[in-house]
Structure 1
Amino acid sequence: MAFFFTILPYLDPKRRLDSSSVNFQKLRLAMVAMLGGLLAYGLYMGLHPGTTSRGITVLLGLFLAFMGNYLTTVQPNYFVGIRTPWTLESPTVWARTHRIGGMVFCLVGVLLIGLALIVPARQMNLVPVGLILLTTAFCYGYSYFVFRQEEQRRNVV
């Protein structure tokens, strides 16, 4: 994963992704830490039968909360962020979508952590997947909504 993030900026067609920026380094560290944490917990679960997946849900919630915070600062590019045709076309749509989408991802992450600590593990099997799908669908729809609003403003003026 670290190697992938090293070559990723060179694959950006418009060279908008700056590998030396602090935000990009935070993303790189978060991805490597999340994957390392998931692998370590998976190994722990394999060595200790009967362990619940509660830890994985908490790790996922922490990651989503971090990513939500990160999304509010990411600049338009082709690899990181909420990349719909509308956000890639307009910097205004990109900024508004990432501001709201970041808040939603952060809230979903905190909600997942809370649910993982309160709800029994057996009942949490599909909750993370459902919340992530709903959040993704919301961000996609919101980016289209903002794009249409901006398009209407341009036509009026």
Structure 2
Amino acid sequence: MKKLFHQENYKVWMIAIIALLIAVIAYPFLPEEIPLHFGTNGEVDRYGGAWTIFLIPAVIIILIISAELFRVIDPKRQSYAKFSRQYYGVHFLISLLFMLLEIYIIAMSMGIEVTNINHLMPILVGILFLVLGNSMPKFKHNYFCGIKTCYTLANEDVWFMTHRFAGKLWFLGGFGMIFTVFLPTKAIWIVFIIIVAILIIVPVLYSYFAYQRINKK
């Protein structure tokens, strides 16, 4: 039990509890069907029963449990103590974004006029990447959190170099995501997906070249 509830993750548990309370309070006022999925145009293209509002608090709780499970079973579990602030900070922000999505869905379900999700999500995800970019250089060698390629896992120097490089790239990418809201609606997700692809592929390629460079030395 102490592994699940401790000083480092209490803020994430607070988000989970608040999200659950919001769902419990809102549930009696929700229509029979609420938005479950949004298309590329920002319009709702799939609905679910009112009970699906409880999926978001459930996801946050699963996220918390997974964070503790990964930390316990990781062969390099001792590394987490060196970047626990960043580790739980990222989980806190992800949980907060889920809760904001929950509030957005409730507002839409109750007929409250809200901004198009195509303009909201790039901002929220962009903020997430800004935080990740700032935190990644502090991620220590482990098997579950960070950019895990065969090259970063094989060499701690490659891990450090890749995360320092990716941190700068993801920070800039976060700004790029936020600025996509100024594009025409149809172009937002195209540019957004291109940015995400760059942020995923480039650090992987960098880890390969960093590994080769270190091996030559």
Given the alignment, which residue of 188, 194, 197 partners 1:124?
A: 188
**Aligned residue for 2:129?**
64
Alignment coverage as a number of residue pairs: 152
Aligned ranges 1:1-157 → 2 under 5 Å: 1-18=63-80, 21-45=84-108, 47=111, 51-52=115-116, 53-116=118-181, 118-153=182-217
1:145 and 1:71 mapped to 2: Cα distance?
19
Asked if the contact 1:58–1:112 (Cα under 8 Å) also holds between the matched residues in 2, the reply is yes
Normalising by structure 1, what TM-score? 0.86
Mapped to 1, the partners of 2:159 and 2:71 lie a distance apart of: 19
2:162/2:203 contact within 8 Å kept = yes
Of 7-16 and 69-78, deviating more is: 7-16
Q: Does the residue aligned with 2:153 lie in a helix, a strand or coil?
A: helix
Radius of gyration: which is bigger?
Answer: 2
Higher relative CO (Cα under 8 Å, sequence separation at least 6) belongs to 1
Deviation at residue 50 of structure 1 after TM alignment: 8.2
Higher strand share: 2
- Residue 26 to residue 77, structure 1, CA distance change in 2 (3 Å): same
Shift of 1:4: 1.9
Give secondary structure in 1 for the equivalent of 2:138.
coil
Give the stretch that moved more between structures: 94-103 or 1-10: 1-10
> Which AA in structure 2 matches 1:62?
I
Question: Which shows bigger deviation, 19-28 or 4-13?
Answer: 19-28
C-alpha distance in structure 2 between counterparts of 1:142 and 1:4, whole Å? 28
1:75 positional shift: 0.3
Q: Which amino acid aligns with 1:131?
A: I
Q: What residue identity is the alignment partner of 2:94?
A: M
Seq. identity, %: 24
Aligned to 2:3: none
Distance 1:105 1:22, change over 3 A: same
CA RMSD of aligned residues (A): 2.1
> In 2 relative to 1, CA 50–18 (structure 1 residues): closer, same or farther, beyond 3 Å?
closer
How many angstroms apart in 1 are the aligned matches of 2:119 and 2:70? 32
Asked if structure 2 preserves the Cα contact closer than 8 Å seen for 1:9 and 1:17, the reply is no
Q: What TM-score do the two structures reach when normalised by structure 2?
A: 0.64
Q: Which whole-Å CA distance do the structure 2 matches of 1:17 and 1:82 have between them?
A: 15
- CA change 1:56–1:45 in 2 (3 A) is farther
